[in-house]
Structure 1
Amino acid sequence: MKAIRSLIVLAAVAIVTGCTTMADSIAEKGTGPYRIYEKPKSEVWAATVEAVPSVGLKLVTANESSNMILAQRGVTAFSYGENVAIFIENYNGNQSRVEIVSKRAMETNVFAPDWSRSLFAYLDSKLK
């Protein structure tokens, strides 16, 4: 009985310590992959807002004044979900810089996708 209790406690600790939140994605600004687009921010912003549901994410918020779009995907058969923060800023005149931070809701889940690939593929097809 003592061994079973120990295993339950160990499993609970493993589950809780590997979790991330949307705040973790936001805090990772500056560490995600980015691309520069030869388009004004307003055009890139519109394409990115369109991209989020198109690739299978749920739009949480899009606040252009803070240069940030937040998206999530919930639990699926292969993932505990993902939190995605997208930062879009003016860059070098009439260009725009897009950075995407994609975090697994559970860090130990190796099957969760990195959404930056899908989002950049969508943006590349729309903006280039």
Structure 2
Amino acid sequence: MNPDNIKYHKEHTWVKVSGKKATVGITDYAQDALGDIVYIDLPEVDTAVEANTEMSEIESTKATSAVIAPVSGTIVEINEKLADSPEIINEDPYGKGWIAVIEMDNESELDDLMDASDYERYIEEEAK
């Protein structure tokens, strides 16, 4: 079940907004599809990111996958714990497995993201 209090990007990232700050991670669907996550290339603090572009990379036992930024802005914090324990993403993708916090440039980009029920329909369609 996907939490209702966050927004979802079609590339299977999520964003939880607090003021101008957006905490970003990958969805439960994404971590499940990737399998056991063994490494994450964390973005650097103070890096500018654009919505719909790669902000980091995750390696699992199955594949390497880009993490797509759901919003544009500047990275103001990263989850350092993932450097030593990337499996936290598998264990708690919507909690302790967050990847970065972005200070948003344009909050209207949130309007392009899906809510939980739209995202559930999206992944059902994608599975067909």
TM-score norm. by structure 1 comes to 0.28
The structure carrying a bigger strand percent of its residues is: 2
Name which one, 1 or 2, has greater alpha-carbon Rg: 1
The structure carrying a bigger helix percent of its residues is: 1
